[in-house]
Structure 1
Amino acid sequence: MLILASQSPRRAELLSQIGVPFTTLSADIDETLLPNETPSIYVQRLAQQKAQAGWHASTHLAAERWALGADTVVVIHEQVLGKPKDLNDAKRMLSMLSGQQHQVFTAVSITSGQRFESILVKTDVTFCSLSPSQIETYWQTGEPLDKAGSYAIQGIGGKFVTHINGSYSAVVGLPLYETNQLLSRMSQTHEC
């Protein structure tokens, strides 16, 4: 049995695309960036903690199970851009991304309770130059509210992306190829 330790509809939709049956559970963890923590270490730590929390929260579902945790962060100049607090925060983030290349790090971790398999995927994303009115109009759509970096590549925010080098599905929230590889590695041990 696979537990998706996430309430993200985007991650659930992506996981469904690779034909893996799963159950979703919320995995609430403290997502505070630790002092001197690099973006790659940060996102990997969160994915592992989510997988672990999902595994522990699902004891009532099955004795033998795997839990999958994932996290995605937008990074520019080594600064992690989380979800915007308000319009001014979204304006700040989108202005930073305007006309620039940034990175999206997505980490995926799967645990059986006995072991972890993890992967980190880095994708370069380039934005067009955005005017203040474009940013304001985009904010009014409501889409930036719960999105890392204040945008959704799979939504309206996709119109700002001029180039991508890496995994589109990782930018959305779950790298399909790499997730499938992790699941294959876990099944080779035949723990579940």
Structure 2
Amino acid sequence: MPRGIFITLEGGEGAGKSTNVAFVRNWLEHAGRKVVVTREPGGTELGERVRDILLHGRELHTSAESEMLLMFAARAEHIARVIRPALDAGKIVLCDRFTDATYAYQGGGRGIPAARIAAIESWVQGDLRPDLTLLFDVPVEAGRRRAGLRSEPDRFEQESDEFFARVHATYLARAAREPERMRVIDASQSLEKVEQQLGSVLQEVVGGR
């Protein structure tokens, strides 16, 4: 059976990833594909517990290194139990955040060297990398306003504007280095125009596979 397709969605706070997961899933299913939707941190029992610690454990004062290692511990479980089995079964895996988020948040935001992240990425993931990454791009200020309207801020959403400026810059730098894999979606536009951009990219990348 041909290997499935691994698609990830990335972006800063309020960029619209969660809003557009349903659109991407529906597009793929209407194209006759079997889709597994998951998220990071999360996707497994261990991953969801790590998610709760990292997003809501404000009293823990976790170091940047511990935060990164927890992300990769959850990712290792996620890959073994969810992602690789689904890909091996020929399905499309649609994941809300993956390792690009680690480079952006723990690397750009927290200052962990990219080389250190890359070493653990190779150990945990082997040759597994996303086939397509949809990067939802919105100015930091606009994204933070959107995020502030939807719920009480989590541990990451309470970070400074400077933190999110570094996250944003890291995402764009990665997209510039890998333009075939990382497709930038202008998420500052209307929902209709965002969906048009998504449909165009999906048709190009997935339509012929």
Q: TM-score range by the shorter chain?
A: 0.3 to 0.5
Normalized per residue, the structure richer in strand is: 1
- Structure possessing the higher relative contact order (Cα contacts under 8 Å, 6 or more residues apart): 2
Tell me the TM-score normalized by structure 1: 0.34
